[in-house]
Amino acid sequence: MVTELTADNFDETINDNLCIVDFWASWCGPCKMLAPVYEELSKDKDLSKLKFCKLNTEEYPDGASQNSVMSIPTLIVFNMGEEVDRITGFYPKEMLKQKVLDVLKKV
């Protein structure tokens, strides 16, 4: 399951969880390609300790600018509010899963 983040729940969500946030926009082709892959990974038991979230940069541009997101899609892993790492661009499912698992080793 993927949680939609807004200005109202962004800070609370990233401060209270180990989470990954997909910064995306409706006009972004690679973001559209990433969406089903991201949804599938959110259900992967190997990644179950990670809360999967999405932030629409058109609806909440401050969320992107406050986190220095310069291009999308960008995935940022947060641990209790602190950025652990980021992944920018589209990757196929297995490659993205491995990148996320590698990031989780830092936590």
What's the pLDDT band for 41 if we cut at 50, 70, 90? very high
Q: What 3-state class would DSSP assign to 80?
A: coil
pTM of the entire predicted model: 0.95
pLDDT for 49 equals 94
How confident is residue 60, by pLDDT bands cut at 50, 70 and 90?
Answer: very high
pLDDT tier at 81, thresholds 50, 70, 90: very high
pLDDT tens-digit map of 95-104: 999 999 999 9
> Which residues belong to the active site?
28, 31
Domains of the chain, residue spans: 2-100
Phi, psi at 41, each rounded to 5°: -65, -30
Q: Give 2-100's CATH code, choosing from 3.40.50.11060, 3.40.30.10, 1.10.3720.10, 2.40.110.10.
A: 3.40.30.10
